[in-house]
Amino acid sequence: MMSTQSVSSPVIGGLAEGKKLGLASHLILIGALAAVYYATARAGLLFAIPPGNATAVWPPSGIALGGLLLGGLSITPGIWIGSFLVNTGTGVSPVTAGIIATGNTAAALVAFALCRRFLSLDAPFRRAACGFRLFAIAAVACLLAATLGSGSLAINGYISEGQFGSNWSTWWLGDLAGVMLLSPLFMLFGARHQSQVPSHALFGALVSLVVLGVISLAIFGSWLPEEFSEGLLYLPLIALFWLLLRFPPIVVFGGNLLIAVIAVHYTSRGSGPFATEVVANSLFELQFFMTVYALTTLALIGVLSSQREAENRESQLAAKVKADEAMRKKESELAHVARLATMGELVAGIAHEVNQPLYAIANYAAASESMLASCDVRQNDRLCDLNRQISDQAVRAGEIIRRMRGFVKKSGDQRTVFSISDAVDEACSLLDAEARLQTIAVNAHPESTVPVCVCADRIQIEQVFINLIRNAIDAMGESDGDKRVVTVRTVVVENEVQVSVIDRGIGITQSSLTDVFAPFFTTKQNGMGMGLAISRTIVEAHGGRIWASPGTDDGAVFTVALPIDKSGADGR
Ligand code: ADP
């Protein structure tokens, strides 16, 4: 037995949505369902075939299923009560009316269970197949009502054996048409996004429905000569297509129902393309026609929904690609700004570094000049030596400037294959002056002398190493003399090369090991907190990983792992 909770909850957003209904509210809902069932059944029975229980027009089957979907299983008694009352009114015994009511209730419950199993009720008609599924569900479930109903009439002698076949098929098709025409309205009403008509479209929807109504009146009300009205039988379908393209599915299905009401009304009065001598036969044919109409509409709603879904997905994808591109551009700009900021901090050290060769140049030049002035030819060798020194120092100064320019250069993602040790050396030498100013040694330890190559944007990878080494230098501000060493160790692990920057500084707490990579995380007074975040973005964009771990005794270790490129270095 199911719990009260699951029994009472509605399946799709509806009357009892989000609310726990009390007993009184449940009774009211049961009463309302019974009343609507009764009223629509009475209307349907106006077109019943003898003895008055089977009819080609049976809206209550759709109302019963829709009621359960919106109001929950706990309002099931409403179906039984409505059905029992209406059938006792046809002159059958209470037992027969009870069996018929049980068949109708069972059909609604089976349809309900199958809908839950085979239709996703939050968006019931988003695929073309959903309409066919509802048709199959209705066809199966309505067998119960028709068989129990006609069977009990036959067993209790209300119909002869010969009448059983036509009674059964009228009953079954009437129920089936009722489900196909009415339950989608409840389902669409429950699925909010398929039922909400934007206020700006309300007027248009109303006008379109009026036009559809007029077309249907013209066809079924015999406003036109008979040969015309038969030819125009499919005109409402075109109007439905129009509604389908312009408005939410509920408007389309409202249109469908409007056609059905008009068609049944006029056909039962003997006019329109379906009118024949026997009203029940006309309605039988009409209901078949309307079921096909409903099925086509549902299938089209499904086709359109999946097309719109695909379009939405496509535009979301395009937006995401655009956003990713913008993000990459921003990141590249940010990385450039970070490099400029780093450069600003490096300038003091670099100025000191460049000054040295420039002083040396000046001194060697002065010595050469004084030797030339004395014109002592015996000093030729010495002069040549001085000139070599001058040129060496000039080249060294030029090299320092080249590195500076290379590092600050704004780069897109320019990947080349290069030796990781060369990049480590370059980063170390850019920071050498700053480290020496702080009496810190930066030592690079490659695992082997054979170059290990990666395919990457060299400037960006060097930027990562510079960030890590600078952080290591910062972390060792307070460390004792013998600990003031930054070690950059390069090892090969399977298909990747791992570069670890090891310091013996203040260290890093276990809980901060991942936080430090978050943008704007900083514990420094003038820190930006972007160095590690940018480093991670760069490394991951190259298919690598970066992580922090505590040092063996003290300090911290930051490791960058990059995939090895086996093709060999092609230089800078
Ligand atoms: P910033 O250096 O501007 O603070 P980072 O993103 O480079 O930004 O570093 C973020 C934080 O990570 C630092 O403020 C520091 O708290 C911590 N951190 C980074 N490297 C180390 C290290 N080697 N030792 C200890 N803490 C570190």
Supply the residue whose CA is at minimum distance from atom 11 of ligand 1: 522
Could you tell me the fold of the domain covering 414-572?
Heat Shock Protein 90 (3.30.565)
Please tell me the predicted confidence (pLDDT) of residue 547. 97
Distance in Å from the first CA to the final CA of the chain: 75
pLDDT tens for the chain, 572 residues long, are 333 334 446 665 554 555 566 788 889 999 999 999 999 999 888 877 777 777 777 899 999 999 999 888 989 999 999 999 999 998 899 999 999 999 999 999 999 999 999 987 777 888 888 889 999 999 999 999 999 999 999 999 999 988 899 889 889 988 999 999 999 988 888 776 666 778 888 898 999 999 999 999 988 887 877 777 777 888 888 888 888 888 888 888 889 889 988 998 888 888 888 888 887 788 888 888 888 888 988 888 888 888 888 998 999 999 999 988 887 777 777 777 777 777 666 665 566 567 667 777 877 788 777 777 776 666 677 778 778 888 877 877 777 677 666 666 655 667 899 999 999 998 888 888 788 888 999 999 887 777 899 999 888 898 899 899 999 999 998 888 788 999 999 999 999 999 999 999 999 999 999 999 998 899 988 788 888 988 898 899 899 999 999 998 889 999 999 999 987 544 44
Supply the residue whose CA is at minimum distance from atom 21 of ligand 1: 471
User: Residue 253 and residue 262: Cα distance in Å, rounded?
Assistant: 14
Please tell me the predicted confidence (pLDDT) of residue 7. 44
Mutate which of 342, 468, 471, 500 for ligand 1? The one with the most ligand atoms within 8 Å of its CB, which is 471
Closest ligand 1 atom to Cα of 475? 24
| Secondary-structure class of domain 1-190 per CATH | mainly alpha
- Token pair in block for residue 342: 């780093």
> 516: CA distance to ligand 1 center in Å?
6
User: Residue 263 and residue 292: Cα distance in Å, rounded?
Assistant: 14
* Enclosing H/E stretch for 396: helix 380-408
> 448: CA distance to ligand 1 center in Å?
29
Please tell me the predicted confidence (pLDDT) of residue 209. 92
For helices 249-268 and 161-190, angle between their N-to-C axes, nearest 10 degrees:
150
532 in Cβ contact with 471 (< 8 Å): yes
Please give the single-letter amino acid code of residue 289. Answer: F
- Which residues contact ligand 1 via a Cβ below 6 A? 467, 471-472, 475, 503, 505-506, 508, 516, 521-524, 527-533, 556
547, with CB counted inside 10 A (0-12, 13-18, 19+), is middle
> 469: CA distance to ligand 1 center in Å?
10
Write the DSSP symbol of residue 527. Answer: -
Cβ neighbours of residue 136 under 8 Å, at least 6 residues apart? none
> 521: CA distance to ligand 1 center in Å?
8
> 410: CA distance to ligand 1 center in Å?
24
Supply the residue whose CA is at minimum distance from atom 8 of ligand 1: 529
Cβ neighbours of residue 376 under 8 Å, at least 6 residues apart? none
Peptide bond before 60: cis, by omega within 30 degrees of 0? Answer: no
| Domain-wise residue ranges, the chain | 1-190, 414-572
Supply the residue whose CA is at minimum distance from atom 26 of ligand 1: 508
Mutate which of 522, 525, 537, 538 for ligand 1? The one with the most ligand atoms within 8 Å of its CB, which is 522
